[in-house]
Amino acid sequence: MEWMKRRVVVTGLGLITPLGTGIQKTWEGICKGASGIDRITTFDTSESPVQIAGEVKDFNAEDFIERKEIKKMDVFIQYALSAGSMAIEDAGLKITEANADRVGVIVGAGIGGIQTIERYHSVLLQNGQRRISPFFIPMLITNLAAGQISMRFGARGPNSCVTTACAAGTHAIGDAFKIIQRGDADAMIAGGSESAITQLTIAGFANMKALSSRNDTPQKASRPFDMERDGFVIAEGAGIIVLEELQAALARRAKIYAEVIGYGMTADAYHMTAPDPEGRGVVNCMRMALRDADIAPEDVHYINAHGTSTPYNDSHETMAIKQVFGEHAYQLAVSSTKSMTGHLLGAAGGVEAAFCALALSEGIIPPTINYEHPDPECDLDYVPNHARHTDLENAVSNSFGFGGTNACIVLKKYIA
């Protein structure tokens, strides 16, 4: 079929993370092995067993959005629109009347506008229903992240939102890749956004025993694959990328970070929050992505792991990688950038796809920091504590979410 010949490349990146707003700040932090995690500043945590998070520290919405529009958007939508603006500018993509129907948007989020929900629930209880803003619903619904980007830039092509917990950003990019590949768009703005560091969210995750409680050493708290890991660190931000059909990108002489060549999505069909002990869903997901990419396991050089720093995830992901890659698993570089950013939930996949694109284009593998105590169950090369400079050809990005939903994308170094 003709559409199978359409190649898809990454031409723009937009990042807002606990390491900084913008590609340069975040990537420099990643390459230095810096941590963006610290004590929570936005509310009183004195009664909480968890007092740390990866907060975005330098974001100013007015740098990207008109002041009168900001109050109509939950913070996760502000992040999405701002990161989307950065990505479009970085790509040099011009959306005009001539191409608007061929440019689409998909942005994922795991939780959506929970800050707005908490805020207006308090208003309702204290002041009654008349004080609820008429913008309340469009401020918080998850698809308004993609909606606001499309309205700002006039992108009238395929538009959707993915809400698959911590796999949402990767699903959004994978779905966008397929839309271009099959010929329904020539460019897609895709990724994930999240801003869910709230009292209610922290309480919910903490009571599940999912979060690290290393309150005294925040920057050491996220320690994927380390023997002493005790949970993930919740974080916020956005990662949005511009995907384009190769010939369209070449025609306008766009810079190309990487090529997207494979996508897999599966379910564990096992448990609401725990991974399948045999790793079947994750194994099938990676195999599906490699099959779609038409490459052998031995062709992969780097995996940006889901690597949440929870006892279960890291050992099960390691086991799944060994099942898929066999002996080659020990030749792979496998790192978790969540050691530095924390876990951005639905935004994680968008941010980590951008890191893979940068790793391929610049020949730098991000490290796993805080790797101090090897775990016998986690015995792969996790690029401990320092970035590695080496040429890469193919990279995989894994994302897994509550409900047993799995997503995996494969990116390739682009050579003209």
Residue 272 has what pLDDT?
A: 87
Q: Helix H segments across 112-167?
A: 114-127, 136-140, 144-153
Spot the catalytic one: 31, 166, 356, 408.
166
For the segment 23-27, the average pLDDT, to the nearest whole number, is 98
The share of the chain scoring above pLDDT 90, in percent, equals 95
What is the average pLDDT value for the chain, to the nearest integer? 96
CA neighbor of 31 nearest in space, from 363, 358, 348, 387: 387
Q: For residue 276, what pLDDT band results from cuts at 50, 70 and 90?
A: confident
Nearest partner of 248 among 1, 5, 8, judged by Cα: 8
**Is 306 a catalytic site residue?**
yes
Torsion sign, CA atoms 274, 278, 280, 285? positive
The tens digit of pLDDT for each residue in 396-407 reads 999 999 999 999
SS3 state at 115:
helix
User: What is the pLDDT, as a whole number, of residue 2?
Assistant: 44
Same-fold call for 9-251 versus 262-412: yes
CA distance 139 to 155: 20
Is residue 317 classed as helix, strand or coil in its secondary structure?
helix
Quote the CATH superfamily of domain 262-412. Thiolase/Chalcone synthase (3.40.47.10)
pLDDT of residue 4: 57
| 343 assigned to active site | yes
The residue with tokens 């779905």 is: 175
Asked if residue 3 has pLDDT above 50, the reply is: no
Higher-scoring residue by pLDDT: 279, 380: 380
Q: Which of 171, 301, 306, 316 is catalytic?
A: 306
d(CA 147, CA 41) in angstroms, rounded, equals 30
Summarize pLDDT for 62-106 with one digit per residue, the tens.
999 999 999 999 999 999 999 999 999 999 999 999 999 999 999
Residue 393 has, within 13 A of its CA and on its CB side, a CA count of 9
Structure pTM? Answer: 0.97
Burial of 1 (0-12, 13-18, 19+ CB in 10 A): exposed
303-356: pLDDT as tens digits: 999 999 999 999 999 999 999 999 999 999 999 999 999 999 999 999 999 999
Predicted pLDDT at 279: 86
Domain ranges of the chain: 9-251, 262-412
In the predicted structure, residue 153 carries a pLDDT above the cut 50: yes
The catalytic position among 343, 356, 378, 408 is 343
Homologous superfamily (CATH) for 9-251? Thiolase/Chalcone synthase (3.40.47.10)
121 is catalytic: no
Phi first, then psi, for residue 224 (nearest 5°) are -55, 140
Whether residue 81 contacts residue 65, with contact meaning beta carbons closer than 8 Å, is answered with yes
pLDDT at 379 over 80: yes
- Dump pLDDT digits (tens) for 207-255: 999 999 999 999 999 999 999 999 999 999 999 999 999 999 999 999 9
